[in-house]
Structure formats: structure tokens, C-alpha cells
Chain A
Amino acid sequence: MTTRTAAAPNRTHWNSVLEATLVPALLVFAWQLWAMTLATDPRSPSPTHVATTFVDLVSNGGLIGATLQSLGRVVVGFGLALVCGVVLGLLMGSNRRIRDIFDPIVESFRPIAPMAILPVAILWFGTGTPAALSIVTYAAFFPLLVNTVHGVSRVDRKLVLAAMTMGVPRARILARVILPAALPSIMLGSRLAMGVAWTAIIAAELGVGAKSGGGGSGGIGQMMFVFYAYSIDLNAIVVCMIVVGVVALLIDRLFRFVEYRLMPWRH
């Protein structure tokens, strides 16, 4: 009896580990087999080569530097979008007239994909950081704005009325009632915006790289393009893809954690 109760959680634990790893492990194994036997092109990536390339790229510092450069752009672009999106969102969400005025403009820019701004950004800023930054800001702006407006306009009006009956001045109602009530939406918007921004920076760096003959813009997106266009190092490209994925995952987790800490009343 005691052994059974002790073994049961253990067994389920092993079960879940098996479930989580079996199919991915099989896929990696199949990939390796394919690379060693069927692949005709000697440049075909394989898990072992990806691993060694990863070690190389990390040890020469290039990968970390490029990732940090991209991340830096994302953080700055996100910050700009956060300020613009939340301020305009608060105004549009709390004032019907402002929303009616800006809504048509916002809605007509929203379906314009961030990458469509790239040619204009290159014309305006060249192929350096400002061009990439403008695309990131543009991409991150809409989720922030839309979610802020949504959050503010859905604030329970009774909370505002309640504050009014207690003689709370208007500016303080904005800070103490509307902002915290809209915070869940704003946080959701931030998380979405950060995800979009990270995708956009890869796209922007790739695009700038592709259209300026490699270019000097840097970042992990451009690094990928160089590996494609110049050294044709597919293993390195896969390493970059994995890094892109891991960073995206970390960003998402970080924002969920912040959400959790900032809004204890939601748990």
C-alpha cells in the first residue's frame, strides 16, 4: 500500500516526462538520420552540426552581440510605442469625441503590415537602427493602443460613479480608478506588442539586410541573412532560428510574470 502511493506520483511524473520528450526526441533523431543518410546536399543542417555551430557562435561572441542588439532595438521601440499607445489609448478610451476622431485613422493604418513601412523607413532613415526602430515601434503601437482603448472603455462605470459620489477629483479618478481597472488590458496589450515587436525586428533586419547587400544594420535578423546569402551556413541559420524562438519564449514568460506580480487581485 505504501509503495503504491509512493510510486504513483513517481510513475505519473515519468509518464509526463516521456510524453513531453518522446515526439520531439524522435523528430530530432529522424532529422539526424536524414542528414546522415538521405540528404544529398552536404550543407544540409543536422542536429549535431547545429549544436557545434551554436558553441562556435556563442564562443566568438557574434551571436550574443547580435541578439542583444536586436533586443535593445525591441526594448526602445516598445518603450516608444508604450508611451504613445497608452497615452492615446487613455484619451480615446475615456473620451468619446477623441475616439470618434482618431478611430478612422487608426483603423485604416492597422491593416498595413509593419513590413510595408520598411521601404519608407529606408527612404527616411537609411539602413541603420532608426529604420528598424521605426518598424518595431509601428508594429508594437497597435496592440498597445487597441488594448488600452478596449480596457479603458470597458471600465465598469459604476466604479467611476462610486468614486464621484465620494468626491474624488477627476484627475485622481483617472489615476486611481480608470488606470488600474484598465491595467489588465494594458498588460495584455504589452505582451502582445512585445511579441509582435520581436517578430518585426527580425523581419526588419532581414529586410534591411536583403535590400542593402548585407548592410551594416546588425542584429540577429541580419546575421541570419548573411548566413543565407554569403556563407550559406544552414546550421548557423537554424541556430539563429532557435535563438529567436527562445528569446520569444523568454519575453512571453517575463511579461506573464510581471502581469502576475502587478495584478495580485486577479489570482
Chain B
Amino acid sequence: MNQETAMSKLRLRNVAKHFIAPRTGQLTTAVTDVNLDIETGEFVCIVGPSGCGKSTVLNLIAGLDTPTSGTIEANGAPIVAPGADRGVMFQDYALMPWMSVHDNIGFGLNYGTPGEGLTREQREKRIRHFVDLVRLNGSEKKYPHQLSGGMRQRVALARLLANGPDILLMDEPLGALDSQTRLILQVELLRIWGETAPREQRKTAIFITHDIEEAVFLGDRVVVMSTHPGRVKAIIPVDLPRPRSEHIRADPRFGQLSDEIWDLIRDEAYRAIDGTEAPAGPKATAVEKVE
């Protein structure tokens, strides 16, 4: 599963990112030693306790940040700047509050590179197509603040897809939703991603979440990250069949995988709350010394 091939869609090699705190001038390592190969059509979830650098990795792939060291390649070419081939869905969606649903979905088409060479009618058609796809017909004229959280998420998803990106980068896109809506949108996300299509036709997706079950439900592989400094702790292949439905949660394998990942994270998750140690669990793994 994790063997290296020359055809990797995305390849991260020894990636590290340091920050300097503005006030203290203190050097902080956000992530280090990140090695990751992602194949075309793969759905990769990244989980980890807060502060493990999940979002940093995503920003680096998006080109919003540059790594301090190491290389990131998409389709064999190094990433130097943001580009519409790598679409990003932000945590709280980053919808333009002054634009209607329709205009938000068309933002990249109307003002960015994805719309280049398209006539007005073509862009309109494309916007309408994605409005249909995320089932927002009838809400095109509404402003984001008039929508529910789930609807906003769909607008963000439609905007992401309307730009026709090769790679989907999603930063906790379901994090702000209530748990029922989450479950529904997880299934919907897989449908829109193209779960039923053959693998070569699917988009490549990287999905950040702090919800372990969500990661297992969605992903082909789950990358588990740890803190201090942020690094990849393990990569867990998810051998659950696709297409997946809600009922797959009842599968014993689903529980096993979730458990396995929780065991990798629990100590640090406890520490992240208040610095206390996790109660001795059956499989508590050793963690690196903090600081």
C-alpha cells in the first residue's frame, strides 16, 4: 500500500516547517520529517491532536506556505505558490459574506485562473451544474449568513469543485457542524468525490479532521500525526470496502481501526487538554518527551 512509485500524485520528502514567534523570537518547529506519497484518486485523512501541524501540512501542499526544508511535488513538479489545481476548503469555509451562494460558487471561475478562456455562458453553466450537484437549487440568491452550517459547507464544496482542481485539500471541513449533519455530509462528500467511479477518475483528496471515526469512514489511508514536534507517527491503511454507507460503522473492522488510531493518539490528546497523563490504558504507547 505504501510502496513508492514514480507516479505519485503528491510527494512530500523530509518536509519541515519552522516558525518564529513574533513576540519572543522563539523558534518553533511546526512539523518535521514529513514523508508522504499520495496516489491519484486516493482519499487520505490526517488526524492528530491539536498542535500536531495538520493544517501546516495542508497549507504547505496548498502553496500558502513554503517549507523550511524538504520538497513537495505535485505531479512531479515542485510546489511554489498556490494554484487552482489544488483546491482548498477551509475550516470555516471562507465564503465571501457579501456574495450570494451563486457568486460564491463562481468566485474562482469569475475572478481566478479556473475561468480563463471560458465564456460567460460556460461559467454560468458550470456554476449551475455545481449548484445542482450539492443540491442548493433555490438558495442561489441567499447570502452565507442566511444559510445553515451544512448548507454553507455545501457552498464551499461546490466552490471547491467548480474550479476543477486535481487535488482537494480539506481542513476540518465538517468540524463546525452538529453530529447528525456531519454523518449525512460525510456520505454526501464520498458521493461527490466519486466513490462509485473507478479510482483513476476520482479526485485526489486530503482531508484533515480530529474525528477518528470520520477519518476511518472517509479515508483510504489515515495518517496519524503527533505533536512536539509535529511529525507523522503512523500511516494506517483502511481496508474497508467502497462504496461505504453509514452502516459500515457497525462493521467490527471499523471499530478495530478506530481503536488502533485512538491508541496512537490518546496520550497526547490527554496532554493537550491539561497536561495530565492519560490513565494507564491497555495499549498505551510511549510518547516522545515534551519540550
Say whether, besides A158-B90, A165-B86, A165-B88, A176 and B97 are in contact (CB < 8 Å).
Answer: no
Number of B interface residues at 8 Å Cβ cutoff, please give it.
27
CB pair B108–A159 under 8 Å, yes or no, is no
Majority secondary structure of chain A interface residues (helix, strand, loop or mixed) = helix
Majority secondary structure of chain B interface residues (helix, strand, loop or mixed) = loop
> Which residue, of B97, B114, B143, has the highest number of chain A Cβ atoms within 10 A?
B97
CB pair A158–B82 under 8 Å, yes or no, is no
CB pair B96–A159 under 8 Å, yes or no, is yes
CB pair A161–B94 under 8 Å, yes or no, is yes
> How far apart sit A263 and B143, CA to CA, in the bound complex (Å)?
11
Q: Which residues of B contact A166 (CB under 8 A)?
A: 84, 87, 107-108, 111-114, 163
Closest Cβ of chain B: how far from A105's Cβ, in Å? 24
Q: Which residues of A contact B114 (CB under 8 A)?
A: 166-167
Question: Is A115 interfacial (CB 8 A cutoff)?
Answer: no
Closest Cβ of chain B: how far from A104's Cβ, in Å? 20
CB pair B112–A161 under 8 Å, yes or no, is no
Q: Which residues of A contact B86 (CB under 8 A)?
A: 165
> How far apart sit A159 and B159, CA to CA, in the bound complex (Å)?
13
Question: Is B225 interfacial (CB 8 A cutoff)?
Answer: no
Against B, the Cβ 8 Å flags (1 = close, 0 = not) of A145-183 are 000000000001011011111111000100011001101
> How far apart sit A265 and B99, CA to CA, in the bound complex (Å)?
7
- For chain B residues 85-138, which have a beta carbon within 8 Å of chain A? 86-88, 90-92, 94, 96-99, 107-108, 111-114
Question: Is A264 interfacial (CB 8 A cutoff)?
Answer: yes
Closest Cβ of chain A: how far from B65's Cβ, in Å? 10
Category for how many chain A residues contact B: 20 to 34
Say whether, besides A177-B96, A180-B96, A264-B143, A164 and B64 are in contact (CB < 8 Å).
Answer: yes
Closest Cβ of chain A: how far from B60's Cβ, in Å? 13
Question: Is B62 interfacial (CB 8 A cutoff)?
Answer: yes
Q: Which residues of B contact A164 (CB under 8 A)?
A: 64, 82
Say whether, besides A172-B111, A265-B97, A165 and B92 are in contact (CB < 8 Å).
Answer: no
CB pair A168–B112 under 8 Å, yes or no, is yes
> Which chain B residue has the least Cβ–Cβ distance from A162?
B94
> Which chain B residue has the least Cβ–Cβ distance from A168?
B112
Q: Which residues of A contact B18 (CB under 8 A)?
A: none
Closest Cβ of chain A: how far from B263's Cβ, in Å? 34
Question: Is B233 interfacial (CB 8 A cutoff)?
Answer: no
Say whether, besides A158-B92, A162-B88, A265-B143, A168 and B97 are in contact (CB < 8 Å).
Answer: no
Q: Which residues of A contact B113 (CB under 8 A)?
A: 166-168
Q: List 17 A-B contacts (CB under 8 A).
A: A161-B64, A161-B82, A163-B107, A163-B111, A165-B62, A165-B82, A165-B87, A166-B84, A166-B87, A166-B108, A166-B111, A167-B83, A168-B107, A181-B97, A264-B143, A265-B97, A265-B144
Extra pairs beyond A161-B82, A265-B99 (16, CB < 8 Å): A156-B94, A158-B91, A158-B94, A159-B94, A163-B107, A164-B64, A165-B82, A165-B84, A165-B87, A166-B84, A166-B87, A168-B111, A172-B111, A181-B97, A183-B98, A266-B97
- 7 cross-chain pairs, A with B, having the tightest CB-CB distances, nearest first: A167-B113, A166-B108, A166-B112, A158-B94, A162-B94, A167-B84, A167-B112
